[in-house]
């Protein structure tokens, strides 16, 4: 009976869920056993006909999950249950199944095979999100909006600039994932304590052949298990990716607030329900879902880091934790990446509201621009700051447009003409290099994508 939301498929894409389904896990373990038998045949440890028989039978077509579980209920050991089920299906050739190996040789290498598929999906999701963000950055590079610090209006910025910042953050995650794959996609055939004693004189060759057959790299050295710094690095990276998505989703949620109303996640107006009691509600539930699941992904970092520690060459403290954290981290990260891409691609942008909001301070958002103009005319910067601070307070208290207060002030008028004041108060004139930076980001991102074999 399904219990968790992942089990009920409330969260998770079909592609990623399939990678971590029980039968697929079983098949990956069988793939490792098949590669091991083939390698033994190649170095002459067993007859090729026996190796070929094991390779042929090492499939869920012949080794049924139900049979493996039936054996496990009796002997209470998952890998030995698989070994016995495979051996009995292979007939006399079954005598050579699992030759020289320990459970972790199969488990850890099978995990690497699953992660290879999972990271391929996650990297594709990152590529698509990066592309979606880049498109928005280019489209809205000149769309002016209020930049906010501490939740308050600060200076003008552009919506495209915001998207460009997110684009580069995703680009860095892509680079981190590419580097991480080198360390995480590894397998081992090293036996009970890592010495490979059970594989005989051709042990290193066997490990090399197995990993070549499975298209992953062999570890340089290991104990009974692949060292968990590798897995912890991946979980930490997935937590970082989820935190970026959390940040983007939080920004969209904030800008969708009724009082702000500058952005909104997609909403199916024809039939979508926002509230069970308030018909008018349009909640940013997709972004809220991302923020909520990001918390779960980040929580997986602690057990991943604690998995570093083991008693001597191996204990089982990692195993039980990893049955949760590896599938959960991959499934949920993939899911919220896919969700965020959908949100960005279909994001609703209200430029008119941005124009109205930037006027809420009656021009005071441009105080730094006026201060800079005064400084260029020879006024001491600190004196200009203090003078404009007082004028901004007056504008707010008296509810007067900042321009009116400025033009009424003798000190300001002595140094700036009305035309210069108007120019300083125009947000479009105080964007600095924002538009240029967006263009540079787009150019750099396109170069990187081309180097990764992506068209655009």
Active centre residues (catalytic): 150, 275
- Six-digit token string for 16: 């990623």
d(CA 254, CA 264): 9
- Six-digit token string for 303: 């057990």
Give the other-Cβ count within 10 Å of 291's Cβ: 19
d(CA 436, CA 428): 14
Q: What is the DSSP letter of 148?
A: E
d(CA 119, CA 125): 10
**Alpha carbon distances (Å) from 435 to 73, 157, 251:** 65, 9, 21
List, in order, residues 6 or more apart from 331 with CB less than 8 Å away: 6, 11, 12, 16, 17, 20
Q: 313-316 contacts: CB < 8 A, separation 24 or more?
A: 313/192, 313/193, 313/194, 313/223, 313/224, 313/225, 314/104, 314/193, 314/223, 314/224, 314/225
Listed in sequence order, the DSSP H helices in 360-433 are 367-376, 381-398, 402-408, 410-415, 418-424
Tell which residue, 398, 339, 357, has the closest CA to residue 153. 357
Listed in sequence order, the DSSP H helices in 5-102 are 14-19, 22-43, 48-57, 65-75, 78-90
**Alpha carbon distances (Å) from 26 to 68, 99, 201, 213:** 9, 18, 30, 18
Which residue in this structure is represented by tokens 């592609």? 15
Helix axes 229-256, 159-184, angle to 10 degrees: 160
d(CA 246, CA 255): 14
Q: Phi and psi (nearest 5°) for 102?
A: -115, 165
List, in order, residues 6 or more apart from 20 with CB less than 8 Å away: 114, 118, 327, 330, 331
């Amino acid at each position: 009976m399904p219990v968790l939301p992942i089990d009920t498929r409330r969260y998770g894409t079909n592609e990623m869920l399939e990678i971590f389904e029980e039968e697929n896990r079983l098949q990956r373990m069988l793939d490792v056993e098949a590669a091991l038998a083939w390698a033994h045949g190649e170095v002459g440890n067993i007859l090729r006909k026996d190796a070929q028989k094991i390779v042929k039978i090492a499939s869920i077509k012949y080794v049924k999950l139900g049979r493996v579980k039936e054996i496990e209920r009796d002997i209470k050991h998952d890998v030995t249950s698989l070994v016995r089920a495979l051996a009995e299906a292979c007939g006399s050739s079954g005598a050579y199944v699992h030759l020289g190996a320990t459970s972790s040789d199969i488990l850890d290498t099978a995990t690497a095979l699953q992660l290879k598929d999972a990271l391929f999906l996650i990297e594709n999701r990152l590529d698509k999100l990066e592309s979606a963000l880049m498109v928005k950055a280019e489209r809205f590079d000149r769309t002016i909006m209020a930049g906010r610090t501490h939740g308050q209006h600060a200076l003008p910025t552009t919506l495209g600039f915001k998207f460009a910042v997110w684009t580069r953050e995703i680009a860095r995650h892509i680079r981190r994932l590419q580097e991480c794959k080198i360390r995480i996609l590894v397998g081992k055939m090293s036996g009970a304590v890592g010495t490979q004693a059970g594989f005989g004189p051709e042990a290193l060759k066997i490990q090399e052949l197995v990993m070549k057959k499975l298209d992953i790299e062999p570890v340089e050295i290991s104990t009974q298990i692949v060292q968990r710094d590798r897995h912890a690095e991946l979980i930490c990276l997935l937590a970082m990716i989820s935190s970026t998505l959390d940040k983007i989703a939080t920004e969209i949620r904030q800008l969708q607030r009724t009082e702000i109303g500058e952005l909104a996640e997609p909403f199916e107006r024809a039939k979508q329900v926002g509230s069970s009691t308030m018909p008018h509600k349009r909640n940013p539930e997709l972004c809220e879902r991302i923020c909520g699941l990001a918390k779960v992904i980040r929580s997986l970092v602690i057990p991943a880091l604690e998995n570093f520690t083991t008693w001597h060459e191996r204990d089982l403290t990692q195993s039980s934790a990893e049955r949760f954290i590896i599938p959960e981290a991959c499934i949920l990260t993939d899911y919220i990446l896919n969700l965020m891409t959908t949100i960005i691609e279909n994001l609703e942008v209200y430029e008119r509201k941005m124009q109205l909001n930037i006027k809420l301070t009656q021009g005071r958002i441009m105080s730094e621009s006026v201060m800079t103009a005064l400084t260029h005319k020879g006024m001491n910067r600190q004196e200009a700051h203090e003078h404009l601070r007082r004028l901004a307070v007056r504008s707010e208290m008296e509810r007067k447009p900042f321009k009116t207060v400025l033009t009424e002030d003798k000190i300001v008028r002595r140094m700036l003409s009305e035309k210069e004041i108007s120019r300083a108060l125009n947000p479009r004139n105080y964007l600095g290099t924002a538009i240029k930076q967006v263009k540079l980001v787009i150019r750099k991102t396109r170069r990187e994508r081309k180097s990764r074999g992506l068209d655009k």
